[in-house]
Amino acid sequence: LTIARVSLPVPAATPFDYWVPDGLAVEPGSAVRVRLGRRRLVGVAIDLVGESEVPPEQLMPLDEVVVGLPPLSAEVLELARFVSSYYHAPLGQCLALALPSLTRPRRRASPLQNDAAPSAPSHAVHALNDEQRAAAAAIAAARGRFTPFLLRGVTGSGKTAVYLDAAARVIAEGGQVLLLVPEINLTPQLAERVRVTLGNASVAVLHSGLPAGARRAHWESAATGSADIVLGTRLAVFAIMPRLGLIVVDEEHDASYKQQEGVRYHARDVAVFRARTRGVPIVLGSATPSLETHWSASSGRYMALALTRRAGAHPALPPVRRVARRDGNAVEGVGAELQAAIRERLARREQTLLFVNRRGFAPSLLCAGCGWKAECARCDARLVVHRDPPGLRCHHCGHAQALPRACPHCGNQDLLPLGSGTQRLERAVATLFPQARVVRVDRDATRRKGAFDGMRDAITRGDADILVGTQMLAKGHDFPRLTLVGVLGADNALYSGEFRATESLFALLEQVAGRAGRGDEPGEVIVQTDFPDHPVYAALAAHDYAALASSLLSERKSLSLPPFAHLALLRAEARREAAVQAFLDNAVRLGRSLAGETAPACEVYAPVPATLPRRAGLWRSQVLVQAPRRAPLHALLDAWLPALTALDTASVRWSVDVDPQSFA
């Protein structure tokens, strides 16, 4: 009798045993359907053994092996094991990340993206400048060995051309390339560019927005080796790739590589682990690398490659003007200097991008009579005023209600929308420049399928004069007629207590600044701020990433924060505040006593309320753990988390986040 040990996507730490009926071809890595209780689940057979410790009468048979699905390779099984142990998540949930969605029956594989593409000759290879050529050559020279690279290239310097040149060489030698990007929005453009540049390569695209059938077809083409390039968002890091020869992580600093629910893995870090176990080079590309990666490069553990010049007519980055936000002639927050600059662009038929990283009309609604502010009933958050369509909305739980006509507290009818979001800015510029064609690009405006692509094409065609948008517009787009970028409301990020706030703001601003002057005409950036001398704006004006990074690194060092320390965050939430408090108090007591025994260097801090102490009706609190090195941190978590399972109650939901992006 053969017993399959099956790992299932449930919180249980151990696999479940099933007997294998005659005729079922199961091997380690096979996806199988089984019954657990009265549920039917898909799991992964991680081992085949002769006997089970479970009494025979309790054993159930495997129902079936998922047809047509290649088994997970030994390498991906190991990858899932690593993710499980590093992020302290159940193996079954980590294995589930490596499987395509199996909710629908198998459909005929849809053709791969490249089938319709012309077999265009590769021209990028010949268009590389000296820096790009040197970078691509260094990457190519590392083939067959784990070699981590940091490719730091200013915005518009042509990092993609370097990736694709290196990819072409790997593919020419029979290898597969894994190319990770942060956002779904960017994959169609990049896929198109890959097809044009590497006309003969077949591309598999993997992201969560893909229809299930297409996703499965692309997943299979990666797994069978028929795809040369796998291009995708963070989940693609788990794709089976038998001939993997190179990994590229584009915009490696981007926060969307960190999964924020379930298994909280960081795809960039998983990718580095994968490159190491597979013995292949990995390229982390960014204009503004994360401080972790920057530190690895400056301490010599990663090989640093640099692209210092923009491709195109204007090799220098656009000049940045810092102007006062408060200004007697400002209209709805658009100051006189910015107005004048926009007017110039309109006269020259050039485009302006106004960047404000807040959607909606105004971030809060204030009663002029009594000071009441509209708040969400289920969250500790202000309701955001929307005008299109009108209403008050909570950006944390999705709650929506009608705009009140009068203050519910004192009856005053004088209600003031406070602050400015994309909708208000859109209306303001439409009033200021009635002749201009204004396009707003944010999540609300692009919710409809295909809306984003339509807007992007319209902007590229020149059917828009002023773009008002959130960070959706900041990343990766190439609008040749865009010569002015105005930044509004960026100071808000400086009030955030998150330890990465300055770093992320700089990355975002440098990225949005890079949208200006990519075509024939030079660009300019105007930042409206109350703090023109703040280091983040000073660094932006000088386009001096290195200086900001070294000052932020010394700050991190003195505060014992990553990359000089390692963090884990225990989060808990419950309907009753006291239940959260009691659970975390116990957890801290236990954690400190365990740290005393096994990991004296670990610091277990007292519970503090989460950034949003109440969300969707749940009270949320957290405990930070800080350690000088990874090993003691993981030793503590290994002892602590199972013990927490013993003392928790059904009313409290908790989870651990290893390497949290933020804790304040």
Partner DNA sequence: AGCACGCCGACT
Partner DNA sequence: GTCGGCGTGCTC
Which parts of this chain interact with DNA (CB under 7 A)? 10-12, 14-18, 35-39, 52, 54, 58-60, 649-651, 653
Long-range CB contact pairs, 32-40, < 8 A, 24+: 32/4, 32/6, 32/62, 32/63, 32/64, 32/65, 32/66, 33/62, 33/63, 33/64, 33/65, 33/66, 34/6, 34/8, 34/60, 34/62, 34/63, 35/60, 35/63, 36/8, 36/10
User: Shortest distance, CB of residue 637 to DNA, whole angstroms?
Assistant: 17
Smallest gap, in angstroms, from Cβ of residue 653 to DNA?
6
| Closer to DNA by Cβ: residue 5 or 278 | 5
Q: Give strand pairing partners of 176.
A: 244
Of 194, 212, 211, 193, residue with least CA distance to 203: 194
CB 8 within 8 A of CB 34: yes
Length of the chain equals 664
What is the smallest separation between the CB atom of 395 and DNA, expressed in angstroms?
A: 25
Contact 334, 426 (CB under 8 A): no
Which of residues 1 and 546 has its CB atom nearest to DNA in the complex?
Answer: 1
Residue 571: strand pairing partners:
622, 655
List, in sequence order, every beta strand (DSSP E) within 328-407.
Answer: 351-355, 364-367, 384-387, 390-393, 400-401
Query: Given the complex with DNA, which of 452 and 583 has the nearer CB atom?
Result: 583
Minimum gap (Å) between residue 560 Cβ and DNA: 32
**Bond preceding residue 389 cis, omega within 30 of 0:** yes
Place of tokens 């002015």: 484
Nearer to DNA, 20 or 247 (CB): 20
Instruction: Kindly tell me which of 413 and 645 has the beta carbon lying closer to DNA.
Output: 645
Residue 598 is given by DSSP the state H
Q: Quote the CA–CA distance of 188 and 205 in Å, as a whole number.
A: 9
DSSP state, 21? -
Q: Closest approach of Cβ 493 to DNA, in Å?
A: 33
Q: Which is nearer to DNA, 600 or 617 (CB)?
A: 617
Tell me the C-alpha distance between 331 and 488, whole Å: 13
Q: How far is the CB of 40 from DNA (least distance, A)?
A: 9
Bridging pattern class, strands 618-627 and 566-574: antiparallel
Quote the CA–CA distance of 183 and 456 in Å, as a whole number.
Answer: 15
Nearer to DNA, 592 or 653 (CB): 653
| Shortest Cβ 58–DNA spacing (Å) | 5
Q: Which is nearer to DNA, 58 or 119 (CB)?
A: 58
CB 8 within 8 A of CB 15: yes
Residue placing its CB nearer to DNA in the complex, 17 or 510 = 17
Which of 580, 572, 566, 564 lies closest to 641, judged by CA? Answer: 572
Residue 231's φ and ψ, nearest 5 degrees, are -115, 120
Residue 585 Cβ vs DNA, minimum distance, rounded to whole Å: 17
Least Cβ distance, residue 35 to DNA (angstroms): 6
Tell me 186's DSSP state.
Answer: G
Minimum distance from CB of 70 to DNA (Å)? 25
For DNA, which is the closer residue by CB, 177 or 652?
652
In whole angstroms, the minimum distance from the beta carbon of 11 to DNA comes to 4
Q: Is the dihedral of CA 220, 224, 226, 228 positive or negative?
A: positive
Sign of the CA dihedral with 298 first, then 232, 177, and 65 last: positive
Q: Toward DNA, which CB reaches closer, 3 or 194?
A: 3
d(CA 609, CA 664): 9
Closer residue to DNA, CB minimum distance, 75 or 577: 577
- Give me the least distance between CB of 60 and DNA, in Å please: 4
